[in-house]
Amino acid sequence: MFNEVSKNFGISTKKVMQTMLEIDYVSTLGAAEYVDRLSKQLGLGDFVRDTAINLVSENVGGSSPTMKACCAIIKALNF
C-alpha cells in the first residue's frame, strides 16, 4: 500500500510511513461495513444486504474486507 501511494503521488515511501505515524490512524472498514455501503450503492434490497452481512463471518472467499464483502454479496444474490 505504501509503495502504491508513493508511486501514484510521487512521495517517498519513508515520508508516507512517517506521516502515518504522526497522525491518528483511522482503521479500515470491516467487511460488514463494506457490504452495507456496496448494497446502498447498488440499490440492493434489505434481504440481500442482511444475508450478505451474515455471510461475511463465514469463509466466503477473498482476503481483504472489500473482497469478502463482494463475495458475500454475490453469494447472497444466489439465495
Could you state, in chain order, the average pLDDT of each consecutive group of 10 residues for the chain (79 residues)?
Answer: 73 79 72 91 94 84 81 90
Give me the residue label for grid cell 452495507.
36
Is 49 within the bounds of a domain?
yes
What are the strands, taking DSSP E only, across 9-74? none
C-alpha separations of 52 from 12, 29, 37, 68 in Å = 39, 15, 12, 10
Is 58 within the bounds of a domain?
yes
CA distance 68 to 72: 6
- Provide the domain count of the chain: 1
Give pLDDT, residue 59.
Answer: 67
Give pLDDT, residue 24.
Answer: 65
Is 11 within the bounds of a domain?
no
Residue type, 24: D
Give me the residue label for grid cell 519513508.
14
Q: Which residues constitute the domain of residue 64? A: 31-77
